[in-house]
Structure 1
């Protein structure tokens, strides 16, 4: 018989979770006390927080507890990497209905652990609560290793615009699931579905960019155009994306776009452009670098220009894009 959350006390559920969580090499005191203690060798740390809400950021019929754990960790780890920092620890608060299977919760813990493993970050505490829907809130900490943070506001005209990670995959995977054209764990379009369910941010690229002299950087969570606009406004510059830089992405996405087009009637070419420029949740990194060289693992995708009379803007090949601006948390 499947154990449900309501069948256990909080202490019993935590006893199932704690052994699954990584300690992390920067952890001085982990779970079990009123608060954790994490080392900050250079006297400063990076902190960010994010939340996943059931049926808003994930759907339980598509996403296992493991998937949600991987996603929750990934999007927070990417925020730290986007500052040029190295993630050290996560604190996770979880709200679950009482009829949630305990296995779903322990799978979430395993997903958190596997996402943290490449950077040796620990999950050092959090909170549990009952509620009407699943909510996962994560706070992440990181260390700059004695470097200055890379902000959104440092891009300069003449810099090269570069990207690390994949582009458009998560949006394509969501569209395939939404149209009933693929299933989790299935062979059809498995790479794209996996990119949506379990994004893999290029976490090492953030510190590498900082070491390589990046002048500005941010995580792409809400779509290339929307997030590029945030960088442009913060730096008071304009950005021009090179359409040719995304030709390989279009080739990868076109078979999925053909399938979604047949099911929805939306032209495949339009879907591809929408996924590349407007699709979010791949959690790649966008950065600017002086000169023309970019570090290994980064692709040059455009250039930084002076902001004109109309103020900062983002163009594609010198033209305004017809693609929507990307994800908005409050849009209906």
Structure 2
């Protein structure tokens, strides 16, 4: 976290760009692969595999997060998690983060301290650090994070390798973030576990490399919802995917929340995004890795179906819609 509050400069403008950068990065641990960390024109990161996996996400206040629903620390953790799950979805392990922050000059430095504290906490769950970035003035608080990863000698697991006959499987939670969003949208702050799932996802980081080692033919993270993201695999692989609802777990807690709100818990599980779970396809001849559970099959054809039929209603999140 940031320095003691007695030393806090009240706003970002009073501390200045370079003072703010030093405040966010000074004294924080880096991964062994960081050859040159923050403080120079660019960082230097080892690439043992000879290839670098890279992904970027941008989060904008009032679009992707709200400080009346989440603390800055929780927003920081979530901003990192949504990027690291993309690295895992390629079958890679994370190696470093680059962070861009746009904010008002009047933003209290305490908010930046807490944001950075959340980012560092989530990064250190996988043993990496923030190796560099940029900070600029902006009218809306905007967080841009680039995550880097290493394939450890394996081929990347893309969206285009699914084959008819493959087993569709998932790792991680589904529907919890959507349930939490519904609760918050009704003005409630509990159940804590459900609301917390929306504030800070729990991606199964290790399940991505685990799937790659086990021979996964395709993989994606479920940032936009299970059906929507499986649709990306179906389109890229030119196959059909059918989800079997008897294989899709609907947690009792979500059923209870849905009953209280007059909602459909299964809809949350099938279409809710931001849990950052992983979905993948595996050859039917191989056992699934420990963290994975089967939910459907790949077949000839196109599109995604549920129990053989098209799903009625929205299948997930899409910007500008």
Structure-1-length-normalised TM-score:
0.91
**Which residue number corresponds to residue 246 of structure 2?**
244
- Superposition pairs of residues 304-323 of structure 1, within 5 angstroms: 304-307=298-301, 312-323=302-313
Partner in structure 1 of residue 191 of structure 2: 189
Corresponding residue of 1:256: 257
Q: Deviations over 1:8-43 (max 9, x none)?
A: 111221222112644122110000000000000121
Separation (CA, whole Å) in 1 of partners of 2:129 and 2:34: 7
CA separation in 1, counterparts of 2:54 and 2:103? Answer: 25
- Which shifted more, 196-205 or 109-118? 109-118
Per the alignment, do residues 226 and 34 of structure 1 end up closer, same or farther by CA in structure 2, a change over 3 Å counting?
same
Unaligned runs of 5+ in 1: 183-187, 262-267
The answer to whether 1:11 aligns with 2:18 is yes
Q: Secondary structure at the match of 1:256?
A: helix
Q: Tell me the alpha carbon deviations over residues 251-303 of structure 1, each in whole angstroms, 9 at most, x when there is no partner.
A: 23111112222xxxxxx3xx313211111000000000001621000010101
* 2:12–2:107 CA contact under 8 A, matched in 1: yes
Q: Secondary structure at the match of 2:241?
A: strand
Report what 2:202 is aligned to: 200
Question: Are 1:42 and 2:68 matched, yes or no?
Answer: no
Q: Distance in 1 between matches of 2:114 and 2:140?
A: 17
Aligned to 1:141: 148
**Residue equivalent to 1:81:** 88
d(CA) in 2 for partners of 1:323 and 1:282? 20
Cα distance in 1 for residues equivalent to 2:60 and 2:25: 23
SS in 1 for 2:75: helix
Write out per-residue CA displacement over residues 133-183 of structure 1, whole angstroms, 9 at most, x where no aligned residue.
10000011100001110011001111100000000000110110111122x
Q: Which runs of 5+ in 2 are unaligned?
A: 1-5
Give 1:273's aligned residue.
Answer: 266
Q: State the partner residue of 1:58.
A: 65
How many pairs does the alignment contain? 313
Alignment-derived partner of residue 317 in structure 2: 327
Tell me if the contact between 1:20 and 1:110 (Cα under 8 Å) persists in the aligned partners.
no
Do 1:21 and 1:112's aligned partners in 2 also have CA atoms closer than 8 Å? no
Counterpart of 2:3 in structure 1 is none
Counterpart residue number, 1:264: none
Would you identify which runs of 4 or more consecutive aligned residues in structure 1 move more than 3 Å? none
Q: For the residues of structure 2 that align with 1:243 and 1:156, how far apart are their CA atoms?
A: 21
Confirm or deny: 8 A CA contact 1:273 1:323 kept in the other structure. no
1:100 paired residue number? 107
Q: What are the residue-to-residue correspondences of 1:81-230 with 2, within 5 Å?
A: 81-182=88-189, 188-230=190-232
Q: Is the 8 A contact 1:6 1:98 kept in 2?
A: yes
SS in 2 for 1:59: coil
Q: Give the deviation of 1:118 after TM superposition.
A: 2.1
* TM-score scaled by length of structure 2: 0.94
State the shift of 1:80 in Å: 0.6
Distance across 2 between alignment mates of 1:85 and 1:125:
21
